[in-house]
Structure 1
Amino acid sequence: MSLKPRAAVAAALLLVLSAVGCDSGKETPAGGGPQNGPIKIYYLQKQATQDYFIGEAAGAKKKAADLGIELVLVDLGNDTSKTLDSVNAAIAQKARGIVIVVPDPSVGPAVVSAAKAAGIPLLTSDDQICVNKPSPADCAKADVVPRIGFSGTQMGEEVGKKAAELYLASGWKPEETRIVAAWKQDVSVCGDRVKAALPAFKAAGGPDIKVVEVGTDNTPTDAANKVAATVTANKAVKNWIVWGCNDENVTGGVTALENAGYRPDNIIGVGINGDLACKAWSAGKATGTKATLWLNGGEVGALAVQSMYDKIKNGKEFAAEAFAKTTMVTPDTYKSAGLACG
């Protein structure tokens, strides 16, 4: 999930921060009461070629077909500078509603301002954005735009519990073990996941183990590079637990450890998403990734489209957050759970 420099949106942010002020995130998705006529919804996604977001798009398309509405999917890639242009293009094309997964939360206030000025309901999926601040972590709860996705705290708790279960079965000693936590540290939903993992690990019987925090851009390559440096600085450690924001971070971390000579038996990686873990497992090669919390993107896409339809057609207000279900899977259970590798 590499990100381009934020300079491209800086000017827009300076203009909108004062204009947006303290408007509530719940007021931002405009559109008034029930509306009649054809419904066209734009769904703008970062990284639309990633398996998770492909599934999300498929769920959104199916729900739109069921509802008899037009859905336009836009791939933002990792291009923060493309985001506002795509929002303005959707407005120009008479979108009745916009659902967005931003490449970077810093563009949030500009997106909010554009949608509000056009009187178009705005809903986020997966990642949060704030009405008046670049970082949702610094945002008042009332100023976070309504979101469809997963509970970051619950996800982190599931990761921590599974990691504790696997650790207790490993026979490792605490003093010979480290936890590496890898995530993009300005993405609030990532922070929610990582912060919840350690308390859940301990509550499930895990001992006190030193945690090494690693900042990444949420891609496997960057996670591998950053964790490799961590491993070099901790050569005496025999065993590693790896968790983070997503499969990308865990896969990168596991790769770095394996490249450094650690055997899969000395690594417990617990991911989130399922896409990269699934590919590793289906290849039949032993890996340090021992489990992943599968996020069914199709359910998020469908729920986002349904929520937007209900807002436009019936004037039903968005919930501040609405969550889809998650499923913890392993190499032995992922197929029966329904996780298919792309």
Structure 2
Amino acid sequence: MSHSHPGRGLQLRVVASLAGLVLLACGGSGSGSSSSAKKPLLVAIYKSGTQQYFIDQATGFKAQATQLGADTKVYDVALDGNKAVNTVNDAIAAGASGIGITVPDQKIGPAVARAAKDAKIPLVATDDAISDSSGAPVPFVGFDGRDMGTKVGQEAGKELATDGWLKDSSKKVAALVVEAPTVSVIVDRTTAEREQLKKAGMTADQLITVPYSGETDSALQAAGPVLTAHPQITNWVVVGGNDEGVKGTLLALQNAGIKPDNVIGVGLGAYEACKPWAASQPSGFKSALYISGKDVGQAAAKVLYDNVKNNTKLPAKTIAKTTIVNKDNYKQVGVACTQ
């Protein structure tokens, strides 16, 4: 028995390798059968990955994707449009099955949409809406900007009424509306904020725009000269596109010697607004609209996974919930405040 036929092993090996080739050919025809065993790779790309909101969003995205059975990769492209486009292409090359992106610049929408379409993989726009080259909107996961701005503006109006500033002739009141003029979702928010402040009794000339990039330092730099130009104002309302915008402007007010009691700041996010509350520090942040990045991350991972695995059509819009919070209720509502 020990003297096996020398040719037999060779024959068996040839048969085995032929069988392997047949399997490869079958698997290759519709990559479905081979990829079904492999975990899909879901990729999230963020424009300001170091901001708390996007850190929370990445956490939600990863947790949801992992729970569903997918692998994840998260990229921070800072505020660099070119880097974002390159990162989409890198993610596709790395085998991404689906991509969620918060773009640094909405103008890159067509390039990003084209790359995903050519690669035949699903794409969702998180937070900031984008369109493809034909102008058709890319499926969106995030918040309704007008609704958010309306809630922030209404809250500021409520605080104004409670404090009675507009009825007190000894007070000179104005509002700083912190706006990123090139980001449509932020303009949606600030436009609605202005409408509500007017409904609360403020006039158009009491509403002063502070243009910023979306980041705290940018708002701080932009608000300083505005305050210098309006020395007669005693009481300020501050609303804006996000918590960072309000925070930077509140810092500028503090630097100008305006006391927190003479400021009504309503944040949009609550992740910055909650910090002075948690530290029991007096602050111009009187309240904030709580938006959870985690909710958006989870929703984005879920719609991408359902599309990749079950061929479920991507919904045109997936809208996450929002709640007004203040120093007294932010913990109950679930704002996780990281110092």
TM-score using structure 2 length: 0.84
1:68 is the counterpart of 2:69: yes
Which of 149, 157, 177 is the equivalent residue of 1:156?
149
Q: 3-state SS of the aligned residue for 1:248?
A: helix
Q: Residues 301-312 of structure 1 correspond to what in structure 2 (within 5 A)?
A: 301-312=297-308
Equivalence map 1:142-221=2 (5 Å): 143-173=136-166, 176-203=172-199, 205-208=200-203, 210-221=206-217
Contact 2:261 2:284 in 1 (8 A): yes
Shift of 1:109: 1.7
Whose relative contact order is higher, 1 or 2, with alpha carbons under 8 Å and at least 6 apart? 1
Instruction: Name the counterpart of 2:133.
Output: 132
Preserved CA contact (<8 Å) 1:44 1:75? yes
The reply on whether 1:252 has 2:248 as its aligned counterpart is: yes
> Radius of gyration: which is bigger?
2
Q: Give me the whole-angstrom Cα distance separating, in 2, the residues matched to 1:129 and 1:156.
A: 20
Q: SS of 2:273's equivalent?
A: helix
| Rounded Cα–Cα distance in structure 2 between residues aligned with 1:259 and 1:76 | 32
Partner of residue 324 from structure 2, selected from 328, 333, 340: 328
Please tell me whether the aligned partners of residues 273 and 287 of structure 2 are also in contact (alpha carbons under 8 angstroms): yes
Residue aligned with 2:237, SS:
strand
Inter-partner Cα distance in structure 1 for 2:292 and 2:68: 21
Amino acid aligned to 1:40:
L
Contact 2:166 2:201 in 1 (8 A): no
**Residue pairs, 1:1-342, within 5 angstroms:** 36-38=36-38, 39-132=40-133, 140=135, 143-173=136-166, 176-203=172-199, 205-208=200-203, 210-342=206-338
| Deviation at residue 37 of structure 1 after TM alignment | 4.8
Which amino acid in the other structure matches residue 251 of structure 2?
A: T
> What code does the residue aligned with 2:120 have?
G
Gaps of 5+ in 1: 1-32, 134-139
- Of all paired residues, the percent bearing the same amino acid is 38
Asked whether the equivalents of residues 176 and 236 of structure 2 are also in contact (C-alpha less than 8 Å), the reply is yes
TM-score by length of 1: 0.83
C-alpha distance in structure 2 between counterparts of 1:144 and 1:189, whole Å: 13
Q: Name the aligned partner's letter for residue 43 of structure 1.
A: A
- Match of 1:275, SS state, is coil
Given that residues 183 and 191 in structure 1 are in contact (C-alpha distance below 8 angstroms), is that contact kept between their aligned partners in structure 2?
Answer: yes
Matched-pair contact (CA < 8 Å) for 2:77–2:84: yes
Equivalence for 1:6: none
Residue ranges of structure 2 left out of the alignment (5+ in a row): 1-31
Q: Could you list the per-position Cα deviations for residues 137-168 of structure 1 after superposition, in whole angstroms to 9, with x for gaps in the alignment?
A: xxx5xx22111001101100110110011101
| Residue deviations 1:244-281 (CA, integer Å, cap 9, x gap) | 10011101111111111111111111110111111222
> How many positions carry a matched residue from both structures?
301
